[in-house]
């Protein structure tokens, strides 16, 4: 950790308490097109970037690592949205053959940069200008640069204004004409509170990433009209708005006509300040309200390569404990230990496997972290968690970000008092504690930059663990969320005199909303598919459909003024700044990013709040959740040394997959949000946070039998699998409806069988950054697949095709046939019939069924028999499934460890090859596999074998089952040793 040097005290106003939080959305009410760019919030600045002429090159030199240093001088003062910075340095470093680092920063190094201890920088020095696959070119006056991939001469990032279209009229975003879409010119602007740079894109560019976001158009972004804002925000899963996480990374995919394949590359901007990124046809423009332009360019060219190169740069994801892949259950509204225990008992009685039970904020007294509600008395609480552990189950409680504030002289809260004693809570500019409001009422907020904060955090969890032997932690509300705008107190307003009244957001009545087609005023409140034998769907005479399945680029296309389609650790970069920036307009910066909550302080800690050493929240707001996750990771290692930490967090920043998992936030119980969960999972796998999933069956609103049935099966094939529900809503545990129970058991059994495959994929992610969940175009070269996000792949081998429409029992899916690939049904082992040569196939999937298919030519290590818990499943031993291709060949691998140790020091890799009627395996590694191989299933054997042998020993007929209808041989009753080489012949 670097120590901050000389500090400059900020000169800013105190946070202004307000009595209520009013939602204010940018661009509201613009019903007609216009030509006005975003107006400056400060009269000192014009907001006119057309007066900016950029920079010229004053000098250049080679860097000590073989890169390039370019020194820039401002051409003219323009003061669009801040004070111009006259002198810049451009550092160009060829870090690897596939990664180029281009950093534009102020010579004085006064602009904020993300510290190394938040995001460690990747090592460099492994490449050179000649060996790199990326070429950096520039012109002197004005300074503009472009980056080319040498292998195909494609220009990947191009700031030359002559290549970029301009737009002088607004287009619609979310149905309203948006000033943010006016792009009148493309100079390089570098001001203290405004940075702008643009790059040319191909027409109708295929852009993925730039999240966290729920995009109306799905996983592929709308390249003709998108404004993506980066300002972490507590909000219930909106569409096309800023939300919990900040990941300024995108992947672009182009079809290369000459090579007849997809070519991909990635761009990552490391900047933690508030920012807008605008996409219009032919251009991407970045507008940040501070920091520097710290770009990493990844050459790809395959999509999996881009994901792996990005993960290498920001940090490979953490390997997860095996138990975390089990089924998790939670709701806000288990009001006592008895409620929670009853839920666990009902799950077991219904035969639905439950690995991890959770509790929401109900366990806290008055919603205060680390204090026990009377219905969660410590002795009873401890006994319950011990019961779970005795049954090989696990437990996770929630911890919210804010810490309850003492309300009077008799109030006692040891965590607050300890933090107050060590002075670790965030401050107002006048040095008093910043007091917001969250669930406990008035709260303070941890200052994660304070070196003593780790001590307070660890002590709090040490004390909690003496009662609750938790296995993981759920970090919520860590954007951070605050229900009031500004601090309730300061040096002149004590808490007793504040006029701020925290709002009560606790639901007072059950939600009224149900998924599409269910009408409670006709069918009642049960959520059942049928009532008195009558189908409940569409009872009011309408049959609504899932509109999230309809891709619609609603932006109006306009002619560009200029158009040119682009062609298809050793560093001289600055060290961590010792200067704490003095932000002139901290509450209302001249450029108002399109934060859909309105002011930067709305429903969060004010940007004028200060951290250790005077650092302002303005610069580090987007890092707040990640800083908490770093501290939580350290705490878990302290409490459970040698064990893999497991936490699930809401607010994330680039690179934090190396410490945490993520859930997709406060979604809704609708078919639309079930479908949208797929794009969320794909998105975070691109961001290097593969352990991700939604609140299954939905959080907000009421679920019903049909959507919960479909969703429980879909989520069984996501990495993180949790059913979670809001307070007072209709119960949606999978035992509530018989059909959901049956569908859940079926899907969970398949999931538990596949756990060795999940573990293998996560081992590869942690070693090389390969995404676990992938869209089809990651594996198959077809530009027609670029829009598909209603299906997805688990690794390269498993293709999942869910039903996402209500009241339907069939679904169309794409089943690639490239290079003779075909697909075998996971459930029946029957080969998919697409004998007509068409890849678009209609699957018959009545309620309780989901399409899951295995790719031909694959070998999968599985668990032989799924059991109630992960441990029991693992103890039952292994099986192998072989799906021979059209030439009788298949291959696969598996990585096995103990599923719990951290770091992983013992690991064994198994390699499987099936050819010429023989399955062989080789092993390498140092982990001893205790459990035996129990069965082998071979699919694609169309003549019954006359003899089967294992290592030369013939297997008896009573151990062999042959099914001619699917060409399947299954051998059971084996006691194979997976630690040694062996072969099975048939």
Q: Considering the candidates 240, 433, 617, 666, report the single residue annotated as catalytic.
A: 666
Does the active-site annotation cover 476? yes
* C-alpha–C-alpha distance, residues 670 and 354, integer Å: 24
- Could you give phi then psi for residue 49, rounded to 5 degrees? -80, -10
SS3 of 617, please? Answer: helix
Query: What is the residue whose two structure tokens read 């080679």?
Result: 62
Burial 773-797 (b: 16+ CB within 10 A, else e): bbbbbbbbbbeebbebbbbbbbbbb
d(CA 599, CA 587) in angstroms, rounded, equals 8
For residue 553, how far is the Cα from the chain centroid?
24
State how far the Cα of 203 lies from the Cα of 367, in Å rounded to an integer.
51
The closest alpha carbon to 678, from 719, 621, 733, 620, belongs to 719
The Cα 898–Cα 587 span in angstroms is: 51
Instruction: Write out the two tokens for 661.
Output: 């998992």
Task: Check if 479 is active-site.
Answer: yes
The two structure tokens encoding residue 836: 């007509």
Burial class (CB within 10 angstroms; exposed 0-12, middle 13-18, buried 19+) of 948: buried
Of the candidates 881, 928, 898, 912, the residue with the CA atom closest to the CA atom of residue 763:
898
**C-alpha span between 398 and 104 (Å, rounded):** 41
- Judge residue 409's burial from the number of C-beta atoms within 10 Å of its C-beta, 0-12 exposed, 13-18 middle, 19 or more buried: exposed
Catalytic residue among 192, 241, 281, 479: 479
Query: What residues form DSSP beta bridges with 824?
Result: 831, 854
Instruction: Return d(Cα 551, Cα 788) in angstroms, integer.
Output: 10
Q: Answer for the pair 571, 124: CB distance below 8 angstroms, yes or no.
A: yes
70, two tokens: 């370019």
3-state secondary structure of 888: coil
Cβ(960)–Cβ(948) below 8 Å = yes
Closest C-alpha to 360, from 514, 519, 187, 477: 477
CA 534, 538, 544 angle in degrees (round to 5)? 155
Kindly calculate the radius of gyration of the chain based on its CA atoms and give it in whole angstroms.
28
Q: How far apart are CA 673 and CA 656, in angstroms?
A: 25
| Alpha-carbon torsion angle 303, 304, 306, 310, nearest 10 | 150
244: its two tokens = 């919990």
Round to whole Å and give the CA distance between 447 and 427.
8
**Close Cβ partners of 14 (under 8 Å, ≥ 6 residues apart):** 428, 429, 430, 487, 490, 608
Query: Which residue, among 6, 12, 4, has the nearest Cα to 616 in the 3D structure?
Result: 12
Q: Looking at 95, 192, 281, 476, which residue is catalytic?
A: 476
3-state SS class at 538: coil
CB-hemisphere CA count at 13 Å for 862?
23
Exposed e or buried b per residue across 818-840, where buried means at least 16 C-beta atoms within 10 angstroms of its C-beta: eeebbbbbbeebbbbeeeeeebe
Establish how many alpha carbons lie within 13 A of residue 509's alpha carbon, considering only the half-sphere containing its beta carbon. 2
Pairing of strands 647-649, 473-476: parallel
Angle subtended at Cα 723 by Cα 722 and Cα 729, rounded to the nearest 5 degrees: 150
Residues in the chain: 986
CA 530 to chain centre: 37
Residue from 860, 853, 791 nearest 824 by CA? 853
Q: Which residues are catalytic?
A: 476, 479, 666
């Amino acid at each position: 950790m670097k120590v901050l040097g000389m500090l400059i005290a900020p000169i800013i106003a105190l946070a202004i308490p307000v009595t209520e939080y009013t939602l204010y959305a940018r661009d509201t009410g613009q019903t007609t097109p216009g030509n006005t760019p975003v107006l400056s919030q400060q009269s000192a600045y014009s907001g006119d970037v057309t007066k900016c002429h950029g920079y010229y090159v004053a000098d250049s030199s080679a860097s000590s690592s073989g890169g390039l240093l370019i020194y820039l001088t401002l051409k003219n003062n323009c003061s669009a949205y801040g004070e111009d910075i006259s002198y810049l340095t451009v550092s160009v470093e060829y870090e690897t053959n596939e990664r180029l680092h281009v950093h534009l920063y102020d010579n004085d190094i006064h602009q904020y940069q993300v510290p190394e201890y938040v995001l460690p920088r990747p090592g460099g020095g492994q490449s050179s200008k000649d060996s790199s696959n990326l070429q950096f070119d520039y012109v002197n006056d004005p300074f503009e640069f472009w980056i080319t991939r040498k292998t195909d001469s494609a220009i990947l990032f191009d700031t030359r204004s002559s290549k970029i279209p301009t737009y002088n009229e607004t287009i619609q975003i979310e149905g309203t004409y948006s000033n943010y879409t006016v792009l009148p010119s493309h100079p390089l602007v570098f001001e203290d509170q405004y940075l702008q740079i643009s790059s040319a894109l191909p027409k109708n560019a295929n852009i993925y990433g730039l999240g966290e976001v729920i995009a109306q158009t799905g996983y592929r972004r709308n390249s003709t009209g998108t404004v993506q804002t980066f300002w972490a925000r507590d909000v219930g899963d909106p569409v096309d708005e800023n939300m919990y996480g900040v990941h300024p990374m995108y992947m672009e995919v182009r079809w290369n006509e000459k090579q007849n394949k997809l070519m991909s590359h990635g761009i990552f901007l490391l900047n933690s300040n508030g920012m807008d990124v605008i996409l219009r046809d032919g251009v991407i423009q970045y507008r940040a309200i501070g920091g520097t332009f710290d770009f990493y360019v990844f050459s790809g060219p395959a999509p999996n390569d881009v994901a792996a190169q990005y993960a290498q740069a920001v940090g490979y994801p953490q390997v997860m404990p095996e138990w975390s892949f089990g089924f998790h259950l939670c709701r806000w509204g288990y009001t006592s230990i008895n409620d929670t225990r009853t839920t666990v008992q009902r799950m077991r009685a219904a035969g639905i496997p439950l690995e991890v039970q959770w509790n929401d904020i109900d366990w806290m007294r008055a919603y205060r972290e680390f204090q026990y509600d009377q219905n969660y008395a410590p002795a009873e609480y401890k006994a319950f968690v011990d019961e779970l552990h005795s049954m090989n189950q696990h437990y996770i409680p929630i911890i919210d970000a804010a810490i309850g504030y003492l309300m009077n002289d008799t109030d006692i809260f040891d965590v607050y008092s300890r933090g107050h004693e060590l002075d670790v809570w965030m401050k107002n500019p006048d040095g008093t504690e910043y007091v917001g409001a969250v669930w406990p009422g008035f709260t303070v907020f941890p200052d994660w930059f304070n070196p003593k904060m780790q001590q307070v955090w660890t002590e709090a969890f040490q004390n909690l663990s003496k009662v609750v032997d938790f296995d993981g932690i759920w970090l919520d509300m860590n954007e951070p969320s605050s229900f009031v705008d500004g601090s309730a107190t300061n040096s002149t307003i004590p808490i007793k005199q504040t006029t701020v009244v925290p709002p009560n957001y606790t639901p007072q009545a059950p939600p009224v909303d149900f998924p599409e087609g269910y009408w409670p005023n006709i069918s009642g409140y049960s959520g059942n598919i049928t009532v008195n034998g009558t189908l409940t769907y569409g009872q009011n005479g309408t049959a609504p459909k899932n509109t999230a399945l309809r891709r619609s680029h609603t932006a109006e296309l306009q002619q560009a003024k200029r158009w040119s389609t682009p062609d298809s650790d050793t560093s001289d970069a600055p060290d961590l700044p010792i200067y704490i920036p003095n932000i002139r307009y901290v509450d209302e910066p001249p450029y108002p990013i399109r934060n859909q909550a309105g002011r930067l302080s709305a429903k969060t800690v004010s940007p004028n709040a200060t951290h250790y050493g005077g650092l302002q929240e303005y610069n580090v707001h987007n890092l707040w959740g990640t800083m908490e996750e770093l501290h939580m990771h350290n705490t878990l290692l302290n409490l459970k040394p040698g064990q893999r930490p497991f936490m699930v967090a809401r607010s994330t920043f680039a690179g934090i997959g190396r410490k945490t998992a993520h859930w997709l936030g406060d979604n809704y119980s609708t078919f639309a949000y079930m479908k949208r969960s797929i794009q969320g999972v794909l998105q975070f796998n691109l961001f290097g946070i593969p352990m991700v999933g939604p609140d299954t069956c939905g959080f907000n609103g009421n679920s019903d039998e049909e959507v919960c049935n479909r969703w429980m099966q879909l989520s069984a094939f996501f990495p993180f699998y949790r059913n979670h529900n809001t307070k007072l809503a209709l119960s949606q545990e999978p035992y509530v409806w018989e059909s959901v129970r049956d569908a859940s058991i079926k899907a969970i059994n398949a999931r538990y069988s596949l756990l060795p495959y999940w573990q293998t994929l996560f081992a590869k992610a942690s070693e090389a950054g390969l995404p676990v969940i992938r869209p089809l175009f990651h594996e198959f070269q077809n530009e027609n697949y670029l829009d598909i996000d209603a299906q997805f792949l688990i690794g390269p081998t498993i293709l999942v095709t869910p039903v996402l429409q209500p009241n339907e029992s069939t679904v169309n899916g794409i089943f690639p046939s490239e290079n003779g690939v075909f697909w075998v049904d996971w459930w029946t082992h029957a080969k998919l019939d697409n004998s007509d040569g068409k890849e678009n196939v209609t699957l018959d999937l009545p309620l309780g069924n989901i399409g899951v298919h295995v790719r031909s030519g694959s070998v999968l290590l599985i668990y032989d028999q799924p059991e109630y818990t992960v441990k029991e499943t693992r103890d039952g031993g292994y099986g192998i499934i072989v799906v021979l291709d059209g030439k009788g060949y298949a291959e696969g691998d598996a990585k096995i460890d103990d599923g719990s140790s951290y770091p992983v020091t013992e690991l064994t890799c198994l390699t499987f090859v099936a050819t010429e009627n023989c399955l062989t395996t080789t092993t390498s590694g140092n982990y001893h596999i205790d459990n035996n191989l129990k069965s082998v299933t071979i699919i694609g054997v169309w003549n019954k074998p006359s003899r089967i042998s294992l290592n030369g020993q013939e297997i008896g007929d009573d151990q062999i089952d042959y099914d001619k209808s699917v060409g399947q041989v299954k051998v059971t009753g084996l006691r194979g040793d997976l630690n040694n080489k062996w072969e099975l012949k048939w």
